Chains A and B, each alone.
Chain A
Amino acid sequence: MYSEKLLEHFKNPRNVGVIENADGVGEAGNPKCGDMMTVYIKVKEDVIEDIKFQTFGCAAAIATSSMMTELAKGKKIEEALKISKRDIADALDGLPPIKMHCSLLAEDALKRRLKII
Chain B
Amino acid sequence: MIDPEDLRKSIKKNTILISIMLVNNEIGNIYPIKELVSIAKEKNIPFHCDAVQALGKIEVDVKKLGVDLLSISAHKIYAPKGVGALFIRKGLKIDPLITGGHQEKNRRGGTENMIGIVGFGKACEIAKHEMREVSERVKRLRDKLEKGIMERIPDVKLNGHPEKRVPTTLNVSFLYVEGESILLNLDMEGIAASSGSACTSGTLDPSHVLTAMGIPHEVAHGSVRFSLGRETTEEDIDYVLEVLPPIIERLRSYSPLYRKAKGGK
Give me the interface of A with B, judged by CB distance under 8 Å: 7, 10-11, 13, 16, 18, 27, 31-38, 54-62, 98-99, 101
Contact = CB atoms under 8 A, between A and B. Distances in A.
Contacts of B256: 27, 36-38, 54-56
Interface residues of B, number: 27
A59 B250 CA distance: 13
B58 interface: no
Nearest to B257: A56
B221 A31 contact: yes
A10 B254 contact: no
Contact of B181 (A18, A27, A62, A99): A62
A98 B204 CA distance: 10
Contacts of B206: 34
Interface of B: 176-181, 184, 188, 197-199, 202, 204, 206, 216-218, 221, 253-259, 264-265
B259 A55 contact: no
Best-surrounded residue of B177, B216, B254 (most CB of chain A within 10 A) = B254
Given A54-B255, A56-B257, A34 B184 contact: no
B176 A56 contact: yes
A35 B178 contact: yes
Contacts of B197: 34, 58
Contact of A11 (B188, B198, B216, B217): B188
B262 to A, nearest CB: 12
